[in-house]
Chains A and B, each alone.
Chain A
C-alpha cells in the first residue's frame, strides 16, 4: 500500500517537473552567458528567501510588503467587481428589458483593455487613495491605506468586472426553463425561484467568471502599479527593477506572481467545487 502511494506520487510529480527543470537549465545557461543582464538563479533565490529585507539596490519596500500591497489592491478591486457585476449580471440574465438597456453600453466598453483606462483613471482620481479619502494630508500615517490608490483599484475593477458579468448573464440565462416551471407548479414565488433555482443553477458559470476575473485582475495590477506616486507593489518592483537594470527583483516578482496565481486559482476552484458540488451528482 505504502509502495503504491510512493509510486503514484512519483508518477504524478515527475512529468510535471520536467518542463520547470528545463526552464531552470536554460535560465542557468543564459545567465552564465550574459551575466550582465540576466540574473543568475542564485541571485533570484537570494531575493526570494529574504522577503522582509529592504532591497539593498532598489528603491522599493521589502518584497513581502510589496506582495501584501498588491494582494490588497487586487482583492479590493476584485471584491468591488464581484459586488457590482454579479447583481447586474443576474438582473440582465433574468430580465430582457434590463438586458436591452445595458447591452449596447457593455458591448462597447467590454473590449477596451483595462490598461487603456489608466491615464483616464489618473485624471479622474489623481493621487487620491483610501488613505487620503479618510485622513486627508495625514494619509501618510496609514501605510497600507495610502498605497490603495483609487485609480489602480478602478482599473482592477474594470478588468475583473466583465468576465464576471458575462458569465453571470450566461449562467442565469442558461437555467433550464423546466426547473423554473417545475418550481412554479410546486407553488414557489419569484423570490423562491430565484433563491432555490436560478442562483444555484447559475453558480457554476458565476464561479467560472470569478476565476477568469481573478486572473485578469492579477494581470492588470502589474501594469497599474506604474502609477505615479507609488512606492510599493509587485508591479512597481518589476518596473523599478527594469529602470535600474536590477533584473533579479523582476524575476523574483514574476515567480511570485506565477505561484500566487496558481494558488489563488486553485483556491477558487476548491470553492467552486464545494459550492457547486451538486453539479457532479446531476443526471
Chain B
C-alpha cells in the first residue's frame, strides 16, 4: 500500500513540475492549418528547403519538430513560431478557423467563401494554385477528348456515371456548366429517382472513394482535382480525357481558382509583420516550384508521402501562383457568379457585384507589400 502511495505521489509530482515552469514562447505563435496534399507544396518546400532559403534569401523556416513546428526567421531574427496542423480538406480548414483553433489556413477557396458568406471575417491573403481539375474515365471507356466524350454520351443507351468530390467543388460546377452548354441532360443520383438522363452525377463524398468506386465500376469516371487524377492514372484504373479548364464556354475556366491562403481578420491586423514574412517565404517557394519542378516533385513526395511517380504526373499539371493575377481574380468572380446563379450563397456573398468581391473576400495588401520588397531585393523575378 505504501509503495502504491509513493508511486501516486511521484506521478503527481511529475505532472505538477512542468506546470510550475510554464514554457513561454518568446515570439508569437501562428497556428497554421493545411490539408497535406500537393496543392500546398509552397509551404512544404519552404519547410524542407531551410538551408537554401537561408543562404539565398535570408528569410526561412527552421524545423523545430518535423512537420509540426517551425521557426520563422528574417535574417538572424526569429519572428514567429509556426505550429502546423493537418486539419483535412473541404470545410474542415475554415471550420477549424471559425472555432479559433487555427489562425492561418491553406485550403480550397470554395469552402473559405462559404464561411465568409456565413459572416466570418476571413480574408484570402493570396492564391496558391489554379487548375489541375480533370475529367478521368475508366480505361476501357472509348474516348480520348471532350468532343468524343460528348458524342459517346449522346450515343450511350445507359446513363454515364460521373463521380465528383463535393456538391460545391469547382470541378463539379465547371462540368455541370459544360454539360448544359452541350445540351446533355444530367441528374444527381440521389434525386429524381425514376427519371433518366445522359449523365448521372454521383457524390463520392471526397477523393478517398475515387479508387474503389472506379475499380468496382460504381462510376464510369470522375471530375476531380490532383493528385486524385494522377493516382487513378498511375494505378492503371483510368485515363485523362481532358482538363476542365478547356471545357465550354471557351476561355471561361482558364485559371479557375483552387487553393489559397486565408487568415482571420484580427490575425492580419495583430501580426501583420509576421504574416507578411510568411507570405514572402511562400512567394519565393512558389517561384522555386515553378523554376525547379524536379525539386518540387521530390519535396511534395517527401512531405505528402505520395509516391514520386504520382507526384511526377500531378505537380506539372497544377499551376502554382501566389501573386493574385487578373486572370485569377476573374476566375474567382466567375465562380462566385455561378454560385449565386444556383443560389448557393445566401449571406454576405449573395448577389455580390464583381467589384465588391475584392473588398469582402480578399486582403492582398500584405502580399503586395511582400512582392514589392522581394522585387526590390531582386529575390523575385
List of B residues within 8 angstroms of A58 by Cβ: 305
Task: Output the nearest chain A residue to B16 by Cβ-Cβ distance.
Answer: A134
List of B residues within 8 angstroms of A138 by Cβ: 22-23, 25
Evaluate contact between A229 and B86: CB separation under 8 angstroms: yes
Interface: A59 (CB within 8 A): yes
A182 to chain B, nearest CB (A): 31
Partner of A245 from B25, B67, B235 at Cβ < 8 Å = B235
Tally of contact residues, A, Cβ under 8 A:
30
B25-48 near A? 1/0 per residue, CB < 8 Å: 100010001001000000000000
List of A residues within 8 angstroms of B19 by Cβ: 134
State the CA gap A76–B377 with chains docked (Å): 54
Q: Which of B95-103, B290-298, B328-336, B346-354 contacts its partner? A: B95-103
Partner of B211 from A37, A122, A231 at Cβ < 8 Å = A37
Chain B residues touching A, range: 35 or more
State the CA gap A268–B27 with chains docked (Å): 49
List of B residues within 8 angstroms of A140 by Cβ: 64-65, 68-69, 83
State the CA gap A141–B83 with chains docked (Å): 12
Supposing A56-B305, A58-B305, A59-B36 touch, asked if A231 and B23 sit within 8 A by C-beta, the answer is no
Supposing A37-B211, A57-B307, A126-B101 touch, asked if A141 and B85 sit within 8 A by C-beta, the answer is no
Give chain A interface residues in 200-231, CB to chain B under 8 Å. 226, 228-231
Evaluate contact between A231 and B99: CB separation under 8 angstroms: no
Interface: A161 (CB within 8 A): no
B1-36 near A? 1/0 per residue, CB < 8 Å: 000000000000001001100110100010001001
A122-147 near B? 1/0 per residue, CB < 8 Å: 11001100000011111011000000
Give chain B interface residues in 69-108, CB to chain A under 8 Å. 69, 81, 83, 85-88, 92, 96, 99-101
Task: Output the nearest chain A residue to B99 by Cβ-Cβ distance.
Answer: A126
A121 to chain B, nearest CB (A): 12
List of A residues within 8 angstroms of B67 by Cβ: 59, 231
Task: Output the nearest chain B residue to A128 by Cβ-Cβ distance.
Answer: B101
Evaluate contact between B99 and A245: CB separation under 8 angstroms: no
Interface: A36 (CB within 8 A): yes
Interface: B207 (CB within 8 A): yes
A57-74 near B? 1/0 per residue, CB < 8 Å: 111100000000000000
Interface: B304 (CB within 8 A): yes
Evaluate contact between A123 and B99: CB separation under 8 angstroms: yes
Supposing A140-B68, A141-B23, A228-B87 touch, asked if A244 and B231 sit within 8 A by C-beta, the answer is yes
List of B residues within 8 angstroms of A242 by Cβ: 208
Interface: B374 (CB within 8 A): no
Evaluate contact between B29 and A137: CB separation under 8 angstroms: yes
A109 to chain B, nearest CB (A): 24
Evaluate contact between A36 and B237: CB separation under 8 angstroms: yes
Interface: A12 (CB within 8 A): no
State the CA gap A55–B304 with chains docked (Å): 11
List of A residues within 8 angstroms of B83 by Cβ: 137, 140
Give chain B interface residues in 189-221, CB to chain A under 8 Å. 206-208, 210-212, 215-216
List of B residues within 8 angstroms of A243 by Cβ: 206-208
Evaluate contact between A59 and B100: CB separation under 8 angstroms: no
Interface: A2 (CB within 8 A): no
B301 to chain A, nearest CB (A): 9
Which of the listed residues A37, A138, A229, A239 has the most CB atoms from chain B within 10 Å of its own CB? A229
B237-262 near A? 1/0 per residue, CB < 8 Å: 10000000000000000000000000
Evaluate contact between A134 and B18: CB separation under 8 angstroms: yes
Interface: A34 (CB within 8 A): yes
Task: Output the nearest chain B residue to A126 by Cβ-Cβ distance.
Answer: B101
Given contacts A140-B64, A228-B86, A229-B96, 17 further A-B contacts (CB under 8 A): A34-B215, A36-B211, A36-B237, A37-B215, A37-B216, A57-B306, A59-B305, A60-B305, A127-B85, A134-B18, A137-B23, A228-B33, A229-B87, A231-B67, A231-B68, A245-B211, A245-B212
7 smallest CB-CB distances across A and B, nearest first, come from: A138-B23, A245-B211, A228-B87, A243-B208, A37-B215, A229-B85, A59-B305
Query: Which residues of B come within 8 Å of A, CB atoms?
Result: 15, 18-19, 22-23, 25, 29, 33, 36, 64-65, 67-69, 81, 83, 85-88, 92, 96, 99-101, 206-208, 210-212, 215-216, 231, 235-237, 303-307
- 25 A-B pairs within 8 Å (CB atoms) are namely A34-B215, A36-B235, A36-B236, A36-B237, A37-B212, A57-B307, A58-B305, A59-B304, A122-B99, A134-B15, A135-B23, A140-B68, A140-B69, A226-B88, A228-B33, A228-B85, A228-B87, A229-B86, A229-B87, A239-B208, A243-B208, A244-B208, A244-B306, A245-B210, A245-B212
